[in-house]
């Protein structure tokens, strides 16, 4: 299967059904297929097979048209994070060698004239207003015939390039093949039990790998409710207005939603399943969501794996609420056709319950990093994806994330995982948010430093945080310093960008 097959089949089987619904638009599967075919033909006329075409946009129907039309033309779609600085975007565009850019006009400010864009032959501009130097996207589609056959492509050819978050350095472009995306769709449809008649409220940015999971819903003829970006208040409004049967939230998003005063009285009864991911969720928060929504599902995945590779099922969430609380700390067991193992630095399997690197083998993995053979060799050493996450696995095959391998710090020869400390501090009264990093120290090598966002009026001091860690942490894990900040730097998925905290004092 290739990506374009999804919209072609959906138009044939579900043509009159809505594929995408926004505040002011309703696009059927037949209309989506027509517009995707027009974009396919326009891209084919302007570029060569194998070229890269980039998209810079918030969530909008044209994102789906690019996923289907650009990949259907045999070109690779480069997904750009719209929250990056223009200079970062220009650097990624230059590194990808994209020859065509599809972009919202409002996001083009600061890009014009930036180094690295010389290879762009054309820009298709989205949104209201006159073209700012490129060509209006709607004019392009209106002038292009939608007829013609969809070319048959090699399953191993690159459909998309998605750049990693870059929290530890310059982002790397993970190359995702048509085969990987096809298997990703099948597994995602299984995880989310997608079926015709469902309505899915999308909250994650489509510049993230979550866009690939949305394709699984279109594969099953599911209507997608698509706000341009997540907003907690709007989330409640959209659920009450559109009555979605399924939705997904990152833990940070879920905390924002459950913290709203009207969350308790909002009519959320239409939601039959809530998925969450992007980072581990606080067990207390997860338990509250199980009580409210009943069916929760989560798992582990990253850009390089295309889809989730583990799943903690609704039944396991209910077991957790019934007394097996430890399950809420798990991201589940390996999915079908996927092998998940825990390995040491030498690549050897570790004993059950021992920490090591989470490694994955399966059909949804990237083929490598764009123009980075050295990083590819490290990431796919031994034929498995080395995720960079430290985890354990129990006797039932359930995986428990410990921390990011690169976030681990060593103080006085002891390995310390910040996530454990963050969980303890987050539970203290008056703490709204927290991130823990290691700071260089001439005696200990590294020491633990906490950055804390206090709730208004909490009156917290540094010693309150340090003393609050005494009951739950060994002495060497307690913070040596606590810095109170107004907020934490986060990427598009709400993950803290810890690189920007190291060396900060406030």
Q: How many domains does the chain have?
A: 3
Nearest to 314, CA basis, from 416, 413, 433, 191: 191
Domain region containing 273: 230-404
Q: Three-class SS string for 287-355?
A: HHHHHHHCCEEECCECHHHCCECEEECHHHHHHHHCCCHHHHHCCEEECCCEEEEEECCCCCECCCCCC
Is the residue at 195 inside a domain? no
User: Which of 107-116, 400-409, 427-436: highest mean pLDDT?
Assistant: 427-436
For residues 133 and 276, membership in a common domain is answered with no
pTM: 0.87
Pairing of strands 100-104, 76-80: unpaired
Average pLDDT (83-91) is 86
Measured at the alpha carbon of residue 385, what is the angle toward residues 380 and 388, in degrees to the nearest 5? Answer: 105
For residues 400 and 413, membership in a common domain is answered with no
For residues 145 and 247, membership in a common domain is answered with no
Q: What confidence tens digit (pLDDT) does each residue in 354-379 have?
A: 999 999 999 999 999 999 999 999 99
Which pLDDT score is estimated for 84? 84
Average pLDDT (321-334) is 91
Is the residue at 184 inside a domain? no
Which pLDDT score is estimated for 169? 60
The residue with greater pLDDT, 470 or 218, is 218
For residues 250 and 114, membership in a common domain is answered with no
For residues 392 and 415, membership in a common domain is answered with no
For residues 252 and 348, membership in a common domain is answered with yes
Say if CB 501 and CB 437 are below 8 A apart: yes
Which pLDDT score is estimated for 69? 98
Is the residue at 299 inside a domain? yes
- Cα separation, 357 vs 341, in Å, equals 8
Is the residue at 214 inside a domain? no
CATH number of the domain enclosing 415 = 3.30.300.30
Establish how many alpha carbons lie within 13 A of residue 220's alpha carbon, considering only the half-sphere containing its beta carbon: 22
């Amino acid at each position: 299967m290739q990506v374009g097959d999804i919209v072609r089949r959906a138009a044939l089987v579900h043509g009159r059904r809505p594929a995408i619904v926004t505040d002011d638009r309703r696009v059927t599967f037949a209309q989506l297929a027509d517009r995707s075919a027009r974009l396919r033909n326009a891209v084919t006329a302007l570029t060569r097979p194998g070229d890269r075409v980039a998209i810079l946009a918030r969530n909008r129907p044209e994102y789906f048209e690019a996923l289907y039309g650009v990949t259907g033309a045999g070109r690779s779609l480069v997904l750009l994070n719209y929250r990056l600085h223009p200079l970062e975007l220009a650097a990624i565009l230059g590194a990808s060698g994209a020859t065509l850019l599809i972009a919202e006009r409002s996001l083009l400010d600061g890009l014009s004239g930036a180094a690295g864009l010389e290879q762009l032959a054309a820009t298709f501009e989205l949104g209201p207003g006159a073209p700012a130097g490129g060509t209006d996207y709607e004019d392009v589609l209106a002038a292009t015939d939608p007829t013609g056959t969809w070319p048959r492509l090699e399953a191993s050819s690159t459909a998309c390039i998605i750049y990693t978050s870059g929290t530890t350095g310059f982002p790397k472009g993970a190359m995702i093949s048509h085969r990987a995306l096809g298997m990703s769709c099948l597994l995602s449809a299984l995880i989310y039990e997608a079926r015709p008649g469902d309505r899915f409220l999308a909250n994650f940015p489509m510049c993230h790998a979550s866009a690939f999971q949305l394709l699984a819903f279109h594969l099953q003829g599911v209507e997608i409710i698509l706000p341009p970006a997540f907003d907690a208040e709007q989330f409640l409004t959209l659920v009450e207005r559109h009555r979605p049967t399924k939705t997904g939230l990152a833990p940070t998003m879920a905390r924002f939603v459950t913290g709203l005063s009207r969350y308790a009285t909002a009519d959320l009864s239409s939601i039959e399943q809530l998925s969450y991911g992007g980072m581990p969720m606080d067990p207390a928060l997860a338990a509250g969501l199980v009580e409210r929504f009943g069916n929760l599902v989560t798992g582990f995945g990253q850009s390089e794996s295309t889809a989730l590779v583990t799943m903690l099922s609704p039944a396991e969430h209910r077991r957790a609420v019934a007394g097996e609380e430890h399950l809420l700390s798990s991201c589940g067991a390996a999915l079908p056709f996927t092998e998940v193992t825990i390995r040491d630095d030498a690549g050897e399997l570790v004993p059950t319950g021992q920490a090591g690197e989470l490694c994955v083998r399966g059909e949804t993995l990237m083929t490598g990093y764009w123009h980075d053979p050295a990083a590819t060799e490290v990431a796919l050493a031994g034929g498995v994806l080395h995720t960079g996450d430290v985890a354990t696995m129990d006797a039932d095959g359930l995986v428990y994330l410990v921390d990011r391998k690169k976030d681990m710090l060593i103080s006085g020869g002891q390995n310390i995982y910040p996530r454990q400390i963050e969980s303890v501090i987050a539970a203290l009264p008056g703490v709204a948010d927290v991130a823990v990093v290691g700071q260089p120290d001439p005696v200990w090598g590294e020491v633990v430093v906490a950055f804390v966002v206090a709730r208004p009026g909490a009156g917290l001091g540094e010693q309150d945080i340090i003393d609050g860690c005494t009951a739950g942490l060994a002495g060497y894990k307690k913070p040596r310093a606590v810095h109170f900040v107004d907020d934490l730097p986060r990427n598009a998925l709400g993950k803290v960008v810890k690189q920007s905290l190291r060396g900060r004092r406030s």
